[in-house]
Amino acid sequence: MAIITLTTDLGDKDIYQAALKGSILKLLPAVNIVDITNSVAAFNVQQAAFILKNSFYYFPDNTVHLIGIDTVYSADTKYLAIRYRNHFFVGADNGIFSLMFDDEPVEIVEITIMQDLKFLHFPLADIFVKAACHLANGGNLKEIGIPVNGIEKKMNLQPVIEKNLIKGAVIYIDSFQNVITNITKDLFNKEQQGRRFVLYFKRNETINHLSWHYNEVPEGEKLCLFGISDHLEIAINKGNASGLLGLNLGDSVIIDFQ
């Protein structure tokens, strides 16, 4: 069965999500629509990129991922359809693809499907849906667009390496209020080289032990671990790490290897 996933900032209180799904089902009634999330903060490209980058590969090959973030018509923004690692992506060329992809996509086209004027304010339910359904139904990228060579670049905040330190930052806070940093497992292992470490963060808090799972410490105690995204997380077992530890997006964290 064809699969179309949705990653949007449409929420669940208005008509927009229903309009989007209804438009898909009109064109492709048998498709399986899967919500990755419709709760991205409004226009937050970085948040959407983090979620989709760490979830799309769980889906079968040829899944179509429709991205509804900052898609309102602009003369300066292209709408793209992309094939990357045996998956298809449909979204606005607003930098999100450069934040998601670790290497160059196999194929990129600028979508040339004509805009229905009655959907000018909501192209997500028109151009994007038509492109996604075309691909989910086995269609070819070049049938809906013209090839382009590149995508809009937007840089993720990168950790800084200084002597025995990794200086990172908070890039995401999940619904359990676990705090996710931009320090990856690969980077940590490369720099650690078997040494002990101390993780420093706000309010002079420290952690010096890497946990395997959240229940490794007593309830209410803080911990750090590499979660499902392979990024270093700061958490509290059955607690609100972001609120209780005062950690917010952009806050600094430092790992000192000793």
Please tell me the predicted confidence (pLDDT) of residue 118: 64
Please tell me the predicted confidence (pLDDT) of residue 76: 77
Please tell me the predicted confidence (pLDDT) of residue 117: 61
DSSP 94: S
Cα dihedral 167/173/174/175 (nearest 10): 150
Per the prediction, the chain carries an average pLDDT of: 93
Q: 155-213 pLDDT, tens per residue? A: 887 899 998 999 999 999 999 999 999 999 999 999 999 899 999 998 889 999 999 99
Which portions of the chain are predicted below pLDDT 70?
117-120
| Structural domains of the chain sorted by starting position, each given as residue range(s) with its CATH number in brackets | 3-147 (3.40.50.10790), 160-257 (2.40.30.90)
Cα dihedral 9/183/189/204 (nearest 10): -130
**Whole-angstrom Cα distance, residue 219 to residue 201?**
20
pTM of the predicted structure, to 2 decimals:
0.89
